Amino acid sequence: MSCLVQIGCCVGDEYIFKLIHNNKINTCIFIDANVSALEKCRENQDDFFRDKNVDWDVKFEYINCAVSDSKLDEIELNIPTGDIHSAHSSIFSDFPTISDAKNGFDAVKVKNFSINDIFENYGLTLIDYLFIDVEGCDKGIVSNINWDKYNILNIKFEFTHWDGYQGFNSEHLRHVIFFLLMNKYKVYQSSATDLTASRILNWYENYNDEKD
């Protein structure tokens, strides 16, 4: 049974919907702290699959919560005022896309979980695709994954705000990349703001260092 988890799904992404359809993913979990954006994602997902041939077992789950490394059970989400579907909502009130919002922002309380809580609650041990885009929380989420317990085949996360706004020149980020490389992932920049790491399943180690 294949699984896809998207943290910070906002209103949905046609690329993700196509990935689910083309690869016949069985369990699809969409998570967003902004309930309005999450409901729009559900609508967009329904619209996308309405005229598609769905000939496999598939389940869609929608979770309204924050995912972070905070230990709090509830946390404040800051949503730009007047933009209920904003892709720039953040738990950090000083995050540039929030603090520079033209009309300010509205703070709402949302439930908060760790990424391991999510995996545990859904009984996941193998995750085929994990997408993370959470306006400044990517570092905390990726750093807290229990890599010994959960097997993630593909992970994509935003790196440009790793240590604060435009904090991608980060020693910690370099350590994370090295960790992924040493655990047999191919790591590459997949967009202007994202890194993708894909586990190399047919890894072959050549111990023959002799030269002809």
Cβ neighbourhood burial of 101 (10 Å; 0-12, 13-18, 19+): buried
Residue 142 domain-assigned (yes or no): yes
Tell me: the pLDDT tens digits for 118-169? 999 999 999 999 999 999 899 999 999 999 999 999 999 999 989 877 778 8
Give residue 211's pLDDT.
53
Q: 80 in a domain, yes or no?
A: no
CA distances from 12 to 1, 5, 46 (A): 22, 12, 11
Mean pLDDT of 51-66: 97
122 in a structural domain: yes
Residue whose structure tokens are 């317990």 = 149
For residue 150, what is the domain's CATH number? 3.40.50.150
The pLDDT of residue 205 is above 70: no
Range from 109-118, 120-129, 163-172, 181-190 carrying the lowest mean pLDDT: 163-172
Q: How many domains does one find in the chain?
A: 1
Asked, for residue 212, whether it belongs to a domain, the answer is no
Asked whether residue 193 is assigned to any structural domain, the reply reads yes
Structural domain of residue 43, as residue ranges?
Answer: 3-68+114-199
The percent of residues above 70 in pLDDT, for the chain, comes to: 96
pTM equals: 0.93
